[in-house]
Amino acid sequence: MSDLLVVVVGTSDVSLIPGISIAGPSPEATHYTPVLDVEYLLTGRPVTLDVVPATPEGVPTPALVTRALTSDVPKLVVDAGSRVQPQVPRVVLGGVPGGDIRRGALSREAAERIVKNGVLLGRQLSGLGRVVLGESIPGGTTTAMAMLVALGYDGWGRTSSAAPSNPKGLKTAVVKEAVSRLKPPVDAVTAASEVGDPVHLALAAIALGVVAAGGEVMLAGGTQMAAAAALFKALGGDPGRLAVVTTRWIVEDRSADFLGLMREVGVGRVHYSKSSFSNSRCRGLRAYEEGYVKEGVAMGYALWRAEAAGVDVLRRVEEEYVRVVGSCG
């Protein structure tokens, strides 16, 4: 069965909270990260700005790895609600950018549109092969924690971070303030509209549509996919129909609990890549072994798939790194 890689993008004002996200050189720049990720993924160069997304320390976007290893995989960009619009072909779900979850995230009407259109899109995609769902949303591990807690799961401090030092104290404080106004039980649309973001809800809705039409779906990402699976279940889906794939860096992240969260939300089919960048000649890639980035833009799927095909992963990724950055220095 062939694969279709669907990357869902969006933003929320959670990434503007200082210290929450390093998915960009500054908090304000994080609203450009999803756009630049998918523009680069599809075209080989960002379009909106002439810069490849990177952390403040210069560690490149995981989209670099995904592009290097999935040139033969068809891709579709889905805009769930972005502050800046990607300048590449995309499907627009009618969502809106998320707000600061301490004061509310989305209108209920926008959340309901995301669900309706996401399910419809998933049904249409189901016959095209296995649908692999990736994401790009800065601050997403914080909103993921909030939605897990809102839906009744023990998500406290169990989501990962793109930073080597997971700012769990800050994220927990933000989530505590956000969920304090909720009165259980909370449904999927309420969780997303009050304390979530457009991307996780879109992932859940698309997955629901694929499964409802008899297709196969794989969630490609880190601990954020626990929130997507929880929303999928809250929308009426059977999490036993889902598979998830991520990176070794996520599975081995002691500041989070990827495997435990997957068990808790009911996803039993878990895959992860085994690749290491510790011997890379590129400093930016070796930084992945120091706890930077870990996952995003379906990087775990790209690595896992390439490993299964016997690809020389490090050589392929280093070639793309040099092409984009100019050198390995």
- For residues 75 and 91, the answer to whether their CB atoms sit within 8 Å is no
Look at the domain 3-325 and name its fold: Rossmann fold (3.40.50)
Q: How far apart are CA 281 and CA 288, in angstroms?
A: 13
- Give the chain's mean pLDDT: 96
Task: Quick: pLDDT tens for 207-222.
Answer: 999 999 999 999 999 9
Q: How far apart are CA 216 and CA 210, in angstroms?
A: 7
User: 90 pLDDT exceeds 80?
Assistant: yes
- For residues 39 and 89, the answer to whether their CB atoms sit within 8 Å is no
Task: Quick: pLDDT tens for 5-50.
Answer: 999 999 999 999 999 998 888 999 999 999 999 999 999 999 999 9
Q: Which of 269, 268, 255, 257 is nearest to 223 (CA)?
A: 257
Strand ranges in 99-175 using DSSP code E only, listed in sequence order? 130-136
Domain boundaries, the chain: 3-325
Q: Which of 231, 255, 228, 188 is nearest to 245 (CA)?
A: 228
Q: How far apart are CA 94 and CA 29, in angstroms?
A: 23
In this structure, of 26-30, 111-115, 143-147, the range with the lowest mean pLDDT score is 26-30
Q: How far apart are CA 257 and CA 263, in angstroms?
A: 10
Kindly provide the b/e burial profile for residues 175-203, where b requires at least 16 CB atoms within 10 angstroms of the residue's own CB.
beebbeeeeeebebbbbbbbbbbbbbbbb
DSSP 3-state of 315: helix
Average pLDDT over residues 113-126: 98
Average pLDDT over residues 72-80: 98
Q: Which of 127, 138, 305, 150 is nearest to 216 (CA)?
A: 127
Whole-number pLDDT of residue 40: 97
Q: Which of 161, 141, 158, 190 is nearest to 257 (CA)?
A: 158
Average pLDDT over residues 169-196: 97
Average pLDDT over residues 272-283: 96
Whole-number pLDDT of residue 170: 97
Whole-number pLDDT of residue 290: 95
Q: How far apart are CA 199 and CA 9, in angstroms?
A: 6
Query: Is the overall model pTM greater than 0.95, yes or no?
Result: yes
